[in-house]
Structure 1
């Protein structure tokens, strides 16, 4: 009959999207996040909303705020305090600063944190001006307690005045070395340090011109390096470099495994536990094994670390051949070998090499000007200069820094055999003047070298609010690189071998066979190395 559904007809429910109720609190949270500078996509992801919904809430900002005032009960005994954009930004930047202090194992106190919070708040007020100038903030202890709860602060190193810990610990460390019968070639230390890879002395025209330009300042661009070596001084480890971009434009066309550094990335250019653990398993342990084999030593080593949060506490369980000992907080700052001048000398060599690079590129006819050269100076140039600077550190210098922690292993007694920081600074000044920086003075160079070790300033913390997009990067997340499996590589090698067999079996000229075989094997050698590395890693994991 017309109008009736057949009995055997399937009932298909309409595909209706479930509507999600959005409360006033959620809408206010969206607006709060916009006020502190979060992006549309970030807010949508954090709150589980559609991007279009977040955009609609943003467009109806005034109406929502008016409704929120009407919706507040007049009889409410307690009102939720509205936190200003300045306060939100200050706490976020303070959290970044605390993470940086923790990375570098810097001791803190509640008073130091309160003073930093107050100075950050005042600087943000001055920068933004307007009505926020009337807001008062005293960084009280009550605020600090609430700040810790809001941000779930991890444990950070507090100042300690306990006497006598250092000597007791050093005796224990010497006992470990003696009982384990470790030679100076088998004892290692590594430490992290920051490097502003594109920074010039303050008084030079490049720095002055950059300060006058709006936008992100390249001199604020920082990377992190993990540097270290053995107590004998004859083996320097390949530096680990952590940068905020995984694939900067200047690295296009380069094979990362073949770089003179181990390249890793982290949004804030900091070492993380996962990065450090990967370095330990896949780079440090194999490097030690290879070094011991070349020097006819037993494959065993002692690695001495400070107790920075990025150093996992279970490293000793990940290798049967490497023992890991952690310096006590009271001893680390004053005795850690890599902290006894190695990083300062390395950075002096780096600045010196940078000026040499400028001189090479701008000296002579038809060459780039200094401004043009510096504009095009990329992170890849910095990687090359890092490799040269690290190579230039003398074995005597690497050995001499162990005198506080293990004086018996220091065998280079002549000061002339070690790197002289004062002489390096003088060389830098001379080079700077040779490349037309007539205004270069030793004080500027000294300040530049010290600036690498300073805390993140309020200005630099605020600069982190701006995503440092450079070197042609759009700021978008790059697509994941395709990873070849061992099975795919093995299959490809089989195809190459089959093709070569056809060519060589029927070649009319013996010389052709040799040339083609050599050319193809040379061309795919990088893939063979990758295949062997994958097999070795799989064996280690098993």
Structure 2
């Protein structure tokens, strides 16, 4: 028989008795029946029949309770002691008032997006307690120590918990961002910039040998040993335009000629390779990239898309971006974002960087899993052999996987025009308009092709040369049968 449960038989004479399970861990009213049997019946010497009649119980139930008296009473005392010893004490005095004011102060700081550390809260609690203690008499002369134990009880009582502060949104200037959007809107409309001509670039760091900090294990396990984290860092400059075009990334590494790039043509890499002792972007590197990489690339892009070479480049106000960078080329207008608005309206800081890093980690870990599954090497060996060239190839692949729709959607917080599908439709319409101006018909049917001015034999070399040349120049919808017939 368990100390938590007891079995009793219930029923009347001539009726089959049923086994009933009485739980001693139920609510306190369940124990009133047993206590009534003990105190009002058995102690007064009443027979079982009288106790059963007075308490409206069967005789077998009363007999079972009396038989297991010691066991049941111990369970009742154990349960009663748990409930009876939890005494709630209401505090009065400066401590209770201080905690109420501290809660109000913390909620106000949270609304203002001010970070609160343990030391800050303890200091404020001391100040409030010392001020409130002056309003009480000498009977409340207890000292207050804002210990870790007090803070633990305080935050549990008032439902506070610790969170990690993410990003730069707490220091963002929403008013300055809204004003800049109106200014940029006016520039785009007044000067007639196309989606292909509006670009933004942004720097970011990448730990190219990064390992995951969490893993999945069985519930029975408590921990999992990890590897020492490699802190090899690269700096990247990523950028693109409203139409979804992606610039070739700029990579800054700490070594000018790493061993992994020996006998490798750096111009054939999927990145513009630069070096810096600390692998950081500098004003000199940015100027060099602007003149030698950015200007030629966007000039070729404009020529391929048959649009004027007129660029609007949007930059943040980082120290590595010289304020006179717009003077290097008269066809490039540079506009700087206001301070503390990067997290709100800078396009490349919205989704593109995070998406690029996610693709990079996925590709890199896929290679690690493939190498370890074949039992050719373990994870430690894989990371030792993983060099900067492997990282550059994964970087190029990851940047290529960032879709055009993602690049186009980055601008929704900054531009009111040229957003989403609207810009794609406008781009197609402009392309058709430009094609029409250039003399290429975009209609599905073309007029009959004019015949030659002089008869030529089909086997003539000159005839075949002209036919081949015209096949390259004429629209694909034109039929060349008329030339053969003639």
Q: TM-score, normalised by structure 1?
A: 0.44
Query: Rg: which structure is higher?
Result: 2
Q: TM-score, normalised by structure 2?
A: 0.49
Greater helix fraction, Structure 1 or Structure 2: 1
